[in-house]
Amino acid sequence: MKIHSIAAVLAMASLVSVAACKPPPPPAPVTVFVRVLDETKEPVSNAEIASQSQVISKTGGDGRAEITVSGREGATYLVDVRCPTGYRSPEAPLAIRRLDNGTATAPEYVTRCNRLRHKLVVNVKVTGAGGSLPVLYLGKPLTRTDADGKARVVLDGDALERIDLQLDTSDPAFARLHPQSPTGSFEIPNLDGETTFEVKFTQDKKAPKKVVKKSGPKQL
In a domain, 49, yes or no: yes
Within-domain flag for 208: no
E strand or H helix at 58, and its extent? strand 54-58
90 and 145 assigned to the same domain:
no
Number of domains making up the chain: 2
* Stretch (H or E) spanning 97: strand 94-97
Find the helix or strand (DSSP H, E) in which 79 lies. Answer: strand 76-82
Does residue 105 sit in the same domain as residue 156?
A: no
Given a cut of 90, whether residue 218 has pLDDT beyond it is no
- Reported as a pLDDT band with limits 50, 70 and 90, residue 213 is low
Q: Which of 61, 81, 115 is the last residue of a domain?
A: 115
* Residue 213 lies inside a defined structural domain of this protein: no
In a domain, 121, yes or no: yes
Asked whether 49 and 20 are in contact (CB, 8 A), the reply is no
Domain assignment of residue 45, yes or no: yes
How far is it, in rounded angstroms, from Cα 213 to Cα 208? 15
User: Could you tell me the end-to-end alpha-carbon distance of the chain, in angstroms, rounded to an integer?
Assistant: 175
Cα 22–chain centre separation = 53
95 and 149 both lie in a single domain: no
157-174 mean pLDDT: 94
Do residue 111 and residue 121 come from a single domain?
Answer: no
- Residue that is last in its domain, among 72, 93, 115: 115
Residue 104 included in any domain: yes
What is the Cα–Cα distance from 51 to 120, expressed in whole angstroms? 37
Q: Return the amino acid letter for 15.
A: L
| pLDDT tens digit sequence for 144-163 | 999 999 999 999 999 899 99
The verdict on residue 36 lying in a domain is: yes
Write phi, then psi, for 103 (nearest 5 degrees). Answer: -90, 0
Predicted TM-score (pTM) of the model is 0.67
Q: Which domain holds residue 189?
A: 117-203
| 43-85 per-position pLDDT tens digit | 999 999 999 989 999 999 999 999 998 888 888 999 999 999 9
Say whether both 126 and 95 belong to one domain.
no
